[in-house]
Amino acid sequence: MSRRLVITGRFSAALRRRAPTFALIGAAAALAFQLGGCAVGPDYHRPDTAVPAAYKEAPEGFKVAQPADMADRGTWWLIYDDAQLNGLMDQLNANNQTVAQYAAAYRQARALVGEARAAYFPVVSASFSGTRSRTPTRVSNASGSFPSGNITNNVNLGLDATWEPDLWGKVSRTVSAEEAGQQGAAADLANARLSAQATLAQTYFTLRALDAQQKLLDDTVAAYQKSLTLTQNQYAQGVAGRADVIQAQTQLQSAQAAAIDNGVARAQDEHAIAVLVGQPASSFSIAASPLTATPPTVPLTMPSALLERRPDIASAERKAAAANEQIGVAISAFFPTLTLSASGGFESSVFSQLLQMPSRFWTLGPSLAATIFDAGLRSAQTQAARAAYDQQVAAYRQTVLAAFQDVEDNLASQRILAQEVVVQQQAVESAQHALSIVTNEYKAGTTDYQNVLSAQTTAFTAQQKLASIAGERMVSSVGLVKALGGGWDAAQMDRESGGVAAPAPASAASASGAAASTTAADTQRALNVQPQ
């Protein structure tokens, strides 16, 4: 019974000794929880930008997309109904190295979010050490003194924990900035993929247009060969002069040279496609097939929807959001930081007695630190953060302006080329008719060969121009799809990156979590995106 009283007495005395420390820790924690969520710095709102009410260059026949048209059309190239193009797109999505770089950058941004979130939690570390040391001494006896030494052992097993409460929202601002960076990286990845896909489609249709021109050149060479034969026959009969034969030969050879030169451009386009799909140009080839496709109708979205449909706009907006959060991080440096730390463990000179109660040690205590003088460092850092935000806002607005220009350029191109192809088709028919008349007159001997050469050149130029316009229309069609964002939507950033909210392990931490949640909600509203 007396032993129990002694133990109880020691325990009570220990509590009394620890009471001031525990009270100090409790007061500091209560203060941290009360101040948690007092995030300093400006709340983010998407920067205002001028959005037109309608597209100026929208040609007749184009319509504004209805809500049903806003469904995800990620495989936008299917509207061209080209099986070979579909296969090339599959290879690009799997093997394009530029897209792979942006995918790695996205994974890095996602890891940075986890790195920032770690600051919400305490840092706990463990240590173990063992030392054996000898200190010299001198021992004296009857025969004199001689050197000796004391050998001591020391074994230490410890556990340390530190935690810095997020009093002023520095951690939540940092997490929000990294989340915006992650979403921006997701948009950058989508933009890189869309750009590569559009480049592939445009290069593919350019190659097909070159195939059409190659067929035209081959047909022209065959026609000029017949014309040369006709002239040679006329010369043999004494109807035509030697100059007519030389002119016919010159025109044939020029057409043959043009046919060969066309192969250079086609080879370069084929090599470019090989790089886009991640294959060596040396082992890649595409069979020739003249272009026969015509641009499909592309439903337009409302101009305001372009802010959600273009990944480059979403990326620029997320960079502005991240820069805004960095202002709060810079402002938080003006306020004191509270650090709660605790350490404990066992220390003994005898290893077998290491884990016994007399060998234990511990320390507890809060630490409050504030910078009194820094020669204007924090003010300069805050000004730099505000300037960086203004820079990102300007970049965002410039991206929006460039996006509308891109749409208008391609709309104008589609409208004008559609009109031009009709006129050029009529020009081809007229040139062919004129060539037929002049050829018959030459056979009849009523006109000279110079008129035949002129009519042949006019007909060939008209046909070549028509083939070129057909290719330009397809390239412009792809450009319009890309300008409208392809099949992408800003909501895909959240589907790909996921939401990252501040942890709330205890009710006292709800204020800090609420601040992070509010930031995430503001981000959702700014993007006009529904949470997944």
Q: What Å distances lie between residue 166 and 37, 110, 294, 338, 381, CA to CA?
A: 7, 22, 60, 9, 20
Mean pLDDT for the stretch of residues 69-77: 62
Confidence label for 10 from pLDDT (cuts 50, 70 and 90): very low
Q: What pLDDT digit, counting tens, does each position of 172-183 carry?
A: 999 999 999 999
SS3 10: helix
Confidence label for 65 from pLDDT (cuts 50, 70 and 90): low
DSSP annotation of 532 reads: -
Q: What pLDDT digit, counting tens, does each position of 427-456 carry?
A: 999 999 999 999 898 888 888 888 989 999
Higher pLDDT, 340 or 522: 340
Tell me, what's the pLDDT at 280?
95
Return the percentage of the chain with pLDDT > 90, whole number: 53
Confidence label for 152 from pLDDT (cuts 50, 70 and 90): confident
Least confident of 12-16, 174-178, 192-196, 345-349: 12-16
pLDDT at 32 over 70: no
Confirm if 297 and 256 have CB atoms less than 8 A apart.
no
Q: DSSP letters along 319-387, please?
A: HHHHHHHHHHHHHHTTS-EEEEEEEEEEEESSGGGTTSGGGEEEEEEEEEE-----TTHHHHHHHHHHH
What is the Cα–Cα distance from 214 to 110, expressed in whole angstroms? 49
Q: Measuring CA to CA, which residue among 185, 190, 194 is closest to residue 319?
A: 185
Q: Which two tokens stand for residue 281?
A: 């140009």
Output the average pLDDT for the chain: 81
Least confident of 16-30, 177-191, 205-219, 263-277: 16-30
Mean pLDDT for the stretch of residues 347-352: 77
Q: What pLDDT digit, counting tens, does each position of 93-109 carry?
A: 999 999 999 999 999 99
Higher pLDDT, 431 or 133: 431
pLDDT at 351 over 90: no
Tell me, what's the pLDDT at 27?
53
Tell me, what's the pLDDT at 37?
55
Mean pLDDT for the stretch of residues 158-172: 90
Containing 423, the helix (H) or strand (E) segment is helix 377-444
Least confident of 8-17, 104-113, 336-345, 349-358: 8-17
pLDDT at 156 over 60: yes
Number of H helices, E strands in the chain: 11, 4
Q: What pLDDT digit, counting tens, does each position of 184-201 carry?
A: 999 999 999 999 999 999
Confidence label for 354 from pLDDT (cuts 50, 70 and 90): confident
What is the assigned CATH class of domain 27-126+167-346+376-527? mainly alpha
Least confident of 51-55, 146-150, 250-254, 401-405: 146-150
What is the Cα–Cα distance from 366 to 386, expressed in whole angstroms? 33
Least confident of 25-34, 85-94, 133-142, 334-343: 25-34
Mean pLDDT for the stretch of residues 72-77: 73
Mean pLDDT for the stretch of residues 216-222: 93
Confidence label for 29 from pLDDT (cuts 50, 70 and 90): low
Return the percentage of the chain with pLDDT > 70, whole number: 80
Tell me, what's the pLDDT at 71?
41
Containing 273, the helix (H) or strand (E) segment is helix 242-276
Mean pLDDT for the stretch of residues 420-432: 95
Q: What is the CA angle 111-112-114, rounded to 5?
A: 65
pLDDT at 532 over 50: no
Mean pLDDT for the stretch of residues 279-302: 89
Confidence label for 72 from pLDDT (cuts 50, 70 and 90): very low
Residue type, 248: A
pLDDT at 12 over 80: no
Tell me, what's the pLDDT at 361?
82
Mean pLDDT for the stretch of residues 278-282: 94
Residue 73 CB neighbours (<10 A):
17
- Give Cβ neighbours of residue 277 (< 8 Å, ≥ 6 apart): 88, 91, 92, 95, 96, 200, 284
pLDDT at 13 over 80: no
Least confident of 86-90, 141-145, 462-466, 471-475: 141-145
DSSP annotation of 7 reads: H
Tell me, what's the pLDDT at 26?
54
